[in-house]
Structure 1
């Protein structure tokens, strides 16, 4: 079985991210396919693994050749429990783990997603915005001119389709994105900003852009989710 194991969302105050009933499934895995090794080792510290973390096989997905990926999934298909884990949240969602899951399906290897936190869904749940029709874009464009035009385009689409638009951003660019959103979105558009989800400093607030302009959000460099819905 290929187990898809959630990892803690908050790096500052991490919490055990899987159900207690699923921990035996996690602890039997000695081979881990991960986004990055360093946060993976930190996440594994939450699971009270029966062997030392240094003795586990931890492979960064991007560093594996196609043949190595196939060999590992074939081992899994033959009966070895193997785990896939993201840097934060659910593997396979905005995460290179999806490539391993797709390969597992092609090789007819069974997959087992475990219940755990998704920053996208937690932010949407806490936003009060339209949860019937929403779209997650990943990261906004990096170029400021392209980003500003893209924000306006997504706002138009939100108005026509009544679709909640969702993005993430690299934490050190939080402030620049907030400034762009408040400048480009209409005053009546609802904007939700959530940060440090599941952590001790968690905040989720939804206000109109006009209200946000009166009191700017201050997430600092904590991981953020940004959601907007045109009135």
Structure 2
């Protein structure tokens, strides 16, 4: 019986959906690109965008197999759209190639898979099956935003997406603000770019004037923007994040 393969967690650049991509050499270590180039089996959010990413990889490190020959298995649509962090999806069948001795890459459309993106079910399944899990180095927007914010990097929480409806969203903002001010724990969250403006206005309408509010948009891109102000200062200044660029929002005391 062949020894089991390894599950590699392969980061992707943060320029997904952006008109001007960032050169991979600027954001991805050579070692990560070399591993990605040799893998023939993948688990991904989207096969088409994964091939587009690997085409960029192949322009730097030749791929071991043609793009058309790669075996790319997509996560189910429910997992892709709603996430799999709650443990309801059994991903063990997706790891059959690893049990046959093949290494597998897990990739999302941007950043580190299984962190603010689907993939945790695949990692859980790998541990259940005794498959080695190796995370590779690459950009993680949450940590980049936290490091650049000046907020507490010793105690922080990522809380995902806030509610879309105004009432529940306002309530959630108040809860996160109270937690940040009471404990000193930085609160991080994200939003679909086209809803950035609505979320930003809710933050300004809800937060206390002295609560610190940060936004990090377009990280690793040429026009990346990171800024930190009190909510009161933001109300006096123009600074809403762009409505077409991924952003990370931070609240702290």
1:200-219 pair list within 5 angstroms? 200-218=222-240, 219=242
- Report the secondary structure of 2:31's partner residue: helix
In the superposition, the TM-score normalised over structure 1's length comes to 0.92
User: Aligned pair 1:27/2:37, yes or no?
Assistant: yes
Count of residues paired in the alignment: 230
The answer (yes or no) to whether the contact 2:217–2:226 under 8 Å persists in 1 is yes
In the superposition, the TM-score normalised over structure 2's length comes to 0.85
1:15 maps to: 23
The answer (yes or no) to whether the contact 2:215–2:248 under 8 Å persists in 1 is yes
Question: Among residues 149, 156, 180, which one is paired with 2:202 in the alignment?
Answer: 180
1:1-231 pair list within 5 angstroms? 1-11=6-16, 12=18, 13-16=21-24, 17-48=27-58, 49-62=63-76, 69-218=91-240, 219-230=242-253
The CA deviation at 1:78 is 3.1
The Cα offsets for residues 17-73 of structure 1, whole Å up to 9 and x where unpaired, read as 431023332112111111123332222222113433232122211259999943442
Between 1:29-38 and 1:153-162, the stretch displaced more is: 29-38
2:84 maps to: none
What is the alpha-carbon distance in structure 1 between the residues aligned to residue 93 and residue 126 of structure 2?
11
RMSD of aligned alpha carbons: 2.1
* Cα distance, 1:215–1:96 mapped onto 2, change above 3 Å: same
The Cα offsets for residues 84-137 of structure 1, whole Å up to 9 and x where unpaired, read as 001110011122211101000000011111011100000001000000111101
The CA deviation at 1:15 is 3.4
What is the alpha-carbon distance in structure 1 between the residues aligned to residue 47 and residue 228 of structure 2?
35
Between 1:55-64 and 1:117-126, the stretch displaced more is: 55-64
What is the alpha-carbon distance in structure 2 between the residues aligned to residue 68 and residue 158 of structure 1?
35
Q: Which runs of 5+ in 2 are unaligned?
A: 1-5, 80-87
Following TM superposition, the consecutive aligned residue runs of length 4 or more in structure 1 with deviations greater than 6 angstroms are 64-68
The answer (yes or no) to whether the contact 1:77–1:110 under 8 Å persists in 2 is no
The answer (yes or no) to whether the contact 1:35–1:95 under 8 Å persists in 2 is no
